[in-house]
Amino acid sequence: MMLGYIGRRAYHSIISLVGLLTLVFFLTRLTGDPSALYLPLDSSLEAREAFARLNGLDQPIYVQFLQYLQNLLSLDFGQSLRQNRSAIDVALEAFPATLKLAFVAMALATTLAITVGALAAARPRSIFDRVAGLVSLAGASTPDFWIAIVGILVLAVGLGVLPTSGTGTGWHWIMPIAVLMLRPFGLLVQVVRGTMISALASPYIKTAHAKGMKRHKIIFGHALRNSLLPVITVAGDLATGLINGAVVVETIFGWPGIGKLMIDSIIQRDFAVVQSTILVTAIAIFIVNIAIDLLYVMLDPRIRY
């Protein structure tokens, strides 16, 4: 049953992927002629024509597209104009860095948000609830580039306790992850708190209280489990956003991820890399969505596919 569902989703996703890649192929070509950016401004017309010929850009657009489709069938995703190597290698090399960052940031943000949100909902209007509300709102609304730069100025330049940027050691992870998890944490605390307050007002919770069950068991064992579906929906949406690349964090902290690669490739008209990064992230997002669907089933046995 479940395998059939996954198969159907995979089939639909392949159709979507082909449509997406076709759209991306033509949209990227609308951005203009790469030779205007790759060759020096004072290049001769002959040099520009030679560049176009060398890279197959002198062909009509439909011929280029047919060639692209033919190459796709043999898993040839093209060469990066900028990097002189296989575009898919460029994308696959950058993706793990983004994936690791997104995974750690989302795992920490979700765990912390569920704990803080549940505790805040258990005592509405308490000091803890008010502080949690303030911190989560601030986290959800503060621009990440500002937090990142202030963090570097205070922790790296001022106190000298963390490196400014880079990826060398575990210490290099602290600031990027802290900055990246701030917004998901803030949003998820709000969602958890809201759903938990509704859950805690439900009749089955009152019954549990009447049976003399311990408070922490009621909160974390009963109410929280039933509140998690909307939390997972929002967390999944946030996670797919991070998988697409944390451009600001990657740029400021020099993190070699796929988000910055994608933006740079669009700006520099490196068409093959744009297509490859979109293909890789699209497949990853498809997998995350399947995982979220499976989580729904685990959390709520009433759900069937």
Partner 1 sequence: MTINSFRIIASAMVVAGFASHATAQNMSEINIVLPEQPANLEPCGTIITNVGQILSRNVVEPLTVIDPKSGQATPGLATEWTQTDPNTWQLKLRDGVKFQDGAAFNAEAVKFSIERMTGGKVNCSNIAKFGAAKLTVEAVDDLTVEIKSDTPQPILPTLLSVVMVVSPNTPADKAVNDPVGTGPFKLANFTPQTVVLEGFDGYWGKKPDITKATYVWRPESSIRAAMVETGEADLTPSIAIQDATNPETDFAYLNSETTALRIDAGFAPLDDVRIRKALNLAIDWEGLAQLFGDDTKRASQMVVVGINGHDDKLAPWTFDAEQARALIAEAKAAGVPVETEIELIGRNGIYPNGTEAMEAMMAMWQDVGLNVKLTMLDVNDWLRYLQKPFPEGRGPNLLQMMHDNNKGDAAFTIPIFYTSEGSYSTISDPALDKEIAEAMAATGEDRTNGFKAIFNKVHDELALDIPMFHMIGYTRVGTRLDWKPDITTNSEIPLANIGLKS
Query: Which residues contact partner 1 by CB under 8 A?
Result: 31-32, 36-44, 46-47, 50-51, 53-55, 81-85, 93-94, 149, 152-153, 156-157, 160-172, 251-252, 254, 256, 264, 268
Given the complex with partner 1, which of 133 and 259 has the nearer CB atom?
A: 259
Nearest Cα to Cα of residue 29 among 77, 76, 68, 87? 68
Distance CA 24, CA 141 (A): 32
Count Cβ atoms below 10 Å from residue 228 Cβ, excluding itself: 21
Would you give the DSSP letter of residue 201? T
- The helix or strand, by DSSP H or E, that contains position 225, with its residue range, turns out to be helix 224-243
Nearer to partner 1, 37 or 294 (CB): 37
Residues contacting 67, CB < 8 A, separation 6+: 56, 59
- Could you tell me the smallest distance in angstroms from the CB atom of residue 82 to partner 1? 4
Kindly state the smallest distance separating residue 21's Cβ from partner 1, in Å: 23
**C-beta of 157: minimal distance to partner 1 in Å?**
5
Of the two residues 98 and 275, which places its CB atom closer to partner 1 in the complex? 98
Give 85 or 217: the residue with its C-beta nearer to partner 1.
Answer: 85
The span from the CA of 4 to the CA of 290, in Å, is: 12
Query: Least distance to partner 1 from the beta carbon of 75, Å?
Result: 20
Cβ at position 229, least distance to partner 1 in Å: 34
Strands, E, within the chain: which ranges?
Answer: none
